[in-house]
Structure 1
Amino acid sequence: LFYRGNADLNTLHIINIVGTRHATPYGQDICTRFLADLSVLCPNILIVSGLAYGIDIHAHRAALQNHFKTIGVLAHGLDRIYPAEHRKTAVSMLEQGGLLTEFTSVTNPYRQNFVKRNLIVAGMSDATVVIESAAKGGALITAELAESYHRDCFAFPGRCNDEYSIGCNNLIRKNQAVLITSAEDLVKGMGWESSPKTEKTVQRELFPDLSEEEERIVKRLGKMPEGLQINTLVIDTNIPVNRMSALLFELEMKGVIRALAGGVYRLIM
């Protein structure tokens, strides 16, 4: 991959925002309000999109306006910007995010490159958010890729007879995306609610009936109020993944932890 910018691509929370290139005032308003509200609830999220017309560019600009870092994943080399009228936004993103591509310089934005670009958009994100889509389109491809990667997908609904809401409504109807109507819905769905800064590490006496392995898991989760994914817990506690799955199930049954979207587990305080 080729990258220019200053954003940490390994940041804790990453979402992509995708949608139709023919964004309506409804979709633009949703995008604007969504990112404005998200900046209050979870300001450290990295926002990813494809720098294309419509929802993509609106998401990048709203992200910049609300002080998010934002990454544009390109369907061409870093030596050019397509479409050219988005160059000013792209330059701003280099100072507040970055540009990422798998294509070498002098590569033109061929049609097939956009599908390849979507692989990166979906793959680098914890969640995909679809804001407006016709019955067919690149945003739906990104949503399908997110599902294949076992990543979370969310969609804003629209009126049943609106051309550019059909795709979102279908994702929701087929249970391929979770219906959301606000930034709060996303944050709760991902388990990214802010925890009080005064929260203390969980003490052993709070859960006296735990095994030594369970205590190791609880102790680790107690230091991460936002929760951890199972793979991280396996590495941090040195407990094999098969054993970890069984232990997490037992802890959930005991009411000690809670399973969240994205394969994240969080301590119940």
Structure 2
Amino acid sequence: MSLIYKIALSMIQNVGHITAKHLLNHFITPEAIFKASKQALMRVPGVGVITAQHILGKEALEKAREQLKFIEKYQVQVLFYTDDNYPYRLKNCEDAPILLYYRGTANLNHPRVISIVGTRMATSYGKLLCKQLAEVLAPYEVLIVSGLAYGIDVNAHQESLTHGIPTIGVLAHGLDRMYPQVHGAIAKKMALNGGLLTEFPSFTNPDKENFPKRNRIIAGISDVTIVVEAASKGGALITADIANSYHRDVYAFPGRTTDVYSEGCNVLIKTNRAGLINHAKDLPDFLGWEEPLKKLVTIAEVSPLTLDEVELRILKVLKVSDLNIDELSRQLKLPQSRLSLHLLNLEMEGLLISLPGKRYQRC
């Protein structure tokens, strides 16, 4: 029964996370909030007549009951602000969500948590940096967090899985869907070695305004945020700025002055909003970590049984030399629209890498 009140507290109209915490501090339990009188509610900072009426109404509790059906059906963990398993790093941030929804196996209070963020238009340079980061960080038993978006995010998750590192994807929507849809396969793997985390209840769309909210969780749940590649504007820079506001460490890889997707990193370094990191192996020293806690994980080959016929043909063709997508399409006699999905799957499995000019090479 108490879980319904916890969920309902996050669903009251006109009540944000800060007001919800004021209510919680005043009444101690979520249930007591919903059973309080109108006069008692209005003594809480930020609660006026209209807000008190929303609390005493039935709408939030009805929404919570619907949400509870989804939670029980799909075994979703609900992490409430006062729970012991709520991420303590995030709890220290003033605008931390009052409630989180989580599906996964990783400990969100892991001793070492690293966020990796960057552009959705990752280059071969950015992908190589993600690979190096995973190789270096694997022996230190870290948890890697990102946003499961295109580009650097999904590369960070994939390299984490490849190197046996648990990885968390923070979502800008409910756990009933996946955006982008093509990342559904890797999301399933992450749920088994890491997890999926969101503050948004099921049936929430990935609306534009949700992404900055998602970014604050990425920044707040981590010890350090690493920006791999970033243009002059975008979510990665927002995440870096939020991390700075939380007094967390931020590092960025530099790029050439002519590289569009290193411009944001260079600006972060130039303006002292991020420390410069030349190579992934520098990071443990910067963070004051001792020797690695375990030996490097051996990377297991992906079984051919997990690949379909088209993907096996792609690997066979690329065994001779790297090719661009036009040449692959011609040799395999497949339309590029269909071919692209298979190429992405092979890339996520760590069996090939994309190069400039839409060329692909076997790993």
Give your verdict on TM over 0.5.
yes
| Cα shift at 1:146 | 0.4
Letter in 2 for 1:88: A
Aligned to 1:57: 154
2:250 pairs with 150, 153, 173, which one?
153
Letter in 2 for 1:102: E
Aligned to 1:70: 167
CA deviation string 1:175-206 (max 9, x = no partner):
11111122221111111122899xxxxxxxxx
2:229 pairs with 132, 136, 141, which one?
132
The question of 1:92 aligning with 2:189 is answered yes
Identical columns (%):
57
| Cα shift at 1:161 | 1.0
Q: Structure 1 length as normaliser, TM-score?
A: 0.71
Aligned to 2:103: 4
Query: Structure 1 residues 104 and 156, CA, compared in 2 at 3 Å: closer, same or farther?
Result: same
Partner-residue secondary structure (3-state), 1:98: strand
CA distance in 2, matches of 1:29, 1:71: 20
Aligned to 1:248: none
Partner-residue secondary structure (3-state), 1:111: coil
What aligned pairs does 1:188-227 form with structure 2 within 5 A after superposition? Answer: 188-194=285-291
The question of 1:83 aligning with 2:180 is answered yes
* Consecutive unaligned residues in structure 1, runs of 5 or more: 198-269
Q: CA RMSD in A?
A: 1.3
User: Larger radius of gyration, structure 1 or 2?
Assistant: 2
What aligned pairs does 1:9-48 form with structure 2 within 5 A after superposition? Answer: 9-40=108-139, 42=140, 44-48=141-145
Tell whether the 8 Å contact from 2:129 to 2:280 is kept in structure 1 after alignment.
no
The question of 1:186 aligning with 2:283 is answered yes
Count of residue correspondences: 195
CA distance in 2, matches of 1:34, 1:14: 13
Which structure has more relative contact order (CA 8 Å, sep 6+)? It is 1
CA distance in 2, matches of 1:69, 1:53: 19
CA distance in 1, matches of 2:293, 2:176: 45
Query: Structure 1 residues 196 and 94, CA, compared in 2 at 3 Å: closer, same or farther?
Result: closer
Aligned to 1:101: 198
Query: Structure 1 residues 196 and 134, CA, compared in 2 at 3 Å: closer, same or farther?
Result: closer
CA distance in 2, matches of 1:195, 1:160: 34
CA deviation string 1:49-107 (max 9, x = no partner):
00000000000000000000000000000011110000000000000000000000000
CA distance in 1, matches of 2:253, 2:225: 11
4+ long deviations beyond 3 Å: none
CA deviation string 1:139-185 (max 9, x = no partner):
00000000000000000000011100000000001111111122221
* Consecutive unaligned residues in structure 2, runs of 5 or more: 1-99, 295-363
